[in-house]
């Protein structure tokens, strides 16, 4: 088994925080006129709609920053706000200001942390209590990202410890556009999250500082043997006792598409100012999909039929789904290994799911089982 101990020198300290009192507006709404509520019998579909306007206020309650060690971090303040306009001359003499490009994006990658000397012997089945001790400080950050995974369009703040990022306070609120979990034999679990949003909120707080010795040689990255997968009520172990088939990788992806609505902008200052961006946002679509790869001696592929699936990727990242649709499997031949069977799936919300007035882990509509 490969143990990837945390090396803080090779990782970037990143901070995330849930947006306090974040709650979407549940209504039937036209994103062209997000301030106008229409009659329930309208042909317009119900959406999660968001008003960023209240986050213009800098005098809000302090942000509860939570540190996490990231392996990758990038941010884009709007790198395509101008585009060329074609003219009759070969050289471009005019440019168009593209307001919809004023979307602040952040991408972050990390691995859940587990105490180095700990193996998870009792299966974790969800909840905000870590299944091991001592729990890393980053557990709270991981749990905030878990919440942003299972709740549609759950907003976060994010900032890195890079000095430029601290000085300009580019924080959010940010909505997850993509979240991916993956693990395979011999490697650490990888969690990747992409965020999109605005830069309204300012910050004057000092961020908590973690000394490297608090983490190095104390925690390790979650790996393949910390994960598990259940199909129905049956555990699919990473190594079967019969050694004739085993899971060699699994992944889960959540993709969310938003429509941002922008007020009028002053093109001379908007591209560089922090207090710019969309005033409203609406969640257009959300898709949950994944795949499981099984190494087997047998070339035969039996289609999966069980609609229940549970996947665990270490840390708080426990996902139970009861409405799975399995795609037809595919098969690849590895001459020196065997047959790789790939089973892809999509996860659906319950047939009775609808946009509710509640927005928390106990009762919100989701593709994942909540509140158990």
Q: Are 255 and 283 in contact (CB under 8 A)?
A: no
Per-residue model confidence as pLDDT tens digits over 105-157: 889 999 998 887 665 556 677 777 877 776 777 888 899 999 999 988 888 88
Residue identified by tokens 């139970």 is 320
CA 57 to chain CA centroid, Å, is: 26
Of 4-18, 149-163, 165-179, the range with the highest mean pLDDT is 149-163
Q: What's the confidence (pLDDT) of residue 58?
A: 53
Could you tell me the sign of the dihedral formed by the alpha carbons of 267, 272, 275, 279, in that order? positive
Determine whether 347 is exposed, middle or buried from the number of CB atoms within 10 Å of its CB (0-12, 13-18, 19+): buried
- Cα(265)–Cα(258) distance, integer angstroms: 20
Average of per-residue pLDDT across 268-291: 74
Query: Nearest-5° angle of CA 324, CA 329, CA 330?
Result: 145
Per-residue pLDDT at 176 exceeds 90: yes
Per-residue model confidence as pLDDT tens digits over 303-341: 788 889 999 998 899 999 999 999 998 988 887 778 888
DSSP, collapsed to helix, strand or coil, labels residue 331 as strand
Q: What's the confidence (pLDDT) of residue 215?
A: 64
Per-residue model confidence as pLDDT tens digits over 233-254: 776 654 444 457 788 899 999 9
Q: How far from 333 is each of 253, 300, 337, 341, CA to CA, in Å? A: 25, 12, 8, 9
Q: What's the confidence (pLDDT) of residue 254?
A: 97
Q: What's the confidence (pLDDT) of residue 312?
A: 92
- What's the full length of the chain, in residues? 372
Q: What's the confidence (pLDDT) of residue 252?
A: 97
Q: What's the confidence (pLDDT) of residue 201?
A: 58
The mean of the pLDDT values for the chain is: 76
Higher pLDDT, 25 or 253: 253
Higher pLDDT, 265 or 359: 359
Segment (H or E) for 163:
helix 163-168
Higher pLDDT, 235 or 287: 287
- Cα(200)–Cα(197) distance, integer angstroms: 9
Pairing between strand 228-231 and 234-236? antiparallel
**pLDDT category of residue 38 using cuts at 50, 70 and 90:** very low
Q: What is the pTM of this model?
A: 0.84
HSE-CB of 144 using CA atoms within 13 angstroms: 23
């Amino acid at each position: 088994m490969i143990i990837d101990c945390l090396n803080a020198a090779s990782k970037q300290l990143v901070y995330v925080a849930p947006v306090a009192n974040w709650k979407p507006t549940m209504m039937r709404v036209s994103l062209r006129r997000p301030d106008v509520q229409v009659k329930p019998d309208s042909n317009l579909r119900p959406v999660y709609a968001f008003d960023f306007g209240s986050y213009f206020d800098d005098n809000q309650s302090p942000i509860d920053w939570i540190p996490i060690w990231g392996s990758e971090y990038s941010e884009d303040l709007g790198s395509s706000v101008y585009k060329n306009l074609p003219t009759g001359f070969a050289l471009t003499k005019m440019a168009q200001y593209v307001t919809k490009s004023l979307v602040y994006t952040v991408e972050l990658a990390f691995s859940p942390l587990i105490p180095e000397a700990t193996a998870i012997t009792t299966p974790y089945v969800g909840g905000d209590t870590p299944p091991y001790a001592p729990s890393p400080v980053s557990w709270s950050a991981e749990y905030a990202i878990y919440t942003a995974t299972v709740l549609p369009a759950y907003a976060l703040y994010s900032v890195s410890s890079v000095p430029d990022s601290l000085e300009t306070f580019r924080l959010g609120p940010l909505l997850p556009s993509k979240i991916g979990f993956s693990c395979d034999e011999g490697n650490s679990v990888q969690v990747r999250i992409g965020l999109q949003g605005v830069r309204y909120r300012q910050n004057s707080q000092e961020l908590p500082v973690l000394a490297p010795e608090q983490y190095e040689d104390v925690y390790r990255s979650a790996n393949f043997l910390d994960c598990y997968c259940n199909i129905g009520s049956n555990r699919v172990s990473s190594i079967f006792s019969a050694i004739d088939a085993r899971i060699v990788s699994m992944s889960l992806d959540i993709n969310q598409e938003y429509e941002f609505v922008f007020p009028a902008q002053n093109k001379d200052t908007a591209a560089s100012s922090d207090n710019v961006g969309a005033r409203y946002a609406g969640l257009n679509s959300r898709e949950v999909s994944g795949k499981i790869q099984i190494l087997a001696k047998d070339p035969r592929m039996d289609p999966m039929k069980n609609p229940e699936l549970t996947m665990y990727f270490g840390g708080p990242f426990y996902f139970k789904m009861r409405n799975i649709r399995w795609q037809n499997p595919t098969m690849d031949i590895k001459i020196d290994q065997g047959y790789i069977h790939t089973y892809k799936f999509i996860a659906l919300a319950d047939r009775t799911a609808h946009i509710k007035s509640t927005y928390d882990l106990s009762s919100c509509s989701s593709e994942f089982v909540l509140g158990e």
